[in-house]
Amino acid sequence: MVEFGCGYGTFTLPAARAVTGRVFALDIEPEMVAATGRKARAAGLKNVTGVVRDFLADGSGLPDGSAGYVMLFNILHVEDPIGLLREAGRVLTPGGAAGVIHWRTDVETPRGPPTPIRPTAAQCRAWGEAAGLRFERYESLCCCSWHWGLVMRRPGQGIS
């Protein structure tokens, strides 16, 4: 599993609790990777590997087809979302899934990027398809009314 933009580990830690495999937590900010690592150690999670990396400029550094799932949560407002989705697709195994979550644009939210730069679910779907991913479904996020979600897959055999 790979999280692009781990931040403080908000999603990394629950993901690491849910899987037995390695979770790569990537972020450009050393402070974010360090905070995520501290939280993982404090929680007794040994399957989190924090990596300081500018994955937008340099890619993830992970091998092709090495992850069954990637998390792109609250990050597709970046300058080159198609490039990031292409990199996510590259590291996915055939049939592997990309989860996308982002801030809604139609309601006031307590934080998040400025509304004008927030992408819509339809934009993210189109970007993912342009990057070679296959749209699977929009995901209802009953846990949070400020976000929307969708799932895309790398074409090919594998997880269905």
* pLDDT of amino acid 103: 87
* pLDDT of amino acid 49: 98
- Confirm whether pTM is higher than 0.85: yes
* pLDDT of amino acid 160: 45
Q: How far is CA 20 from CA 1, 16, 17, in A?
A: 10, 7, 8
The CA distance from 79 to 65, in Å, is: 25
In sequence order, which residues have a C-beta less than 8 Å from that of residue 122 and are 6 or more positions away?
Answer: none
* pLDDT of amino acid 158: 60
CATH fold group of domain 2-153:
Rossmann fold (3.40.50)
Return phi, psi of residue 28, to 5°: -75, -25
Residuewise pLDDT in 10s, the chain (160 residues): 999 999 999 999 999 999 999 999 999 999 999 999 999 999 999 999 999 999 999 999 999 999 999 999 999 999 999 999 999 999 999 999 999 999 888 888 888 888 888 899 999 999 999 999 999 999 888 777 888 999 999 998 765 4
The CA distance from 107 to 139, in Å, is: 18
Alpha helices per DSSP H over the chain: 12-18, 30-42, 55-58, 81-91, 121-130
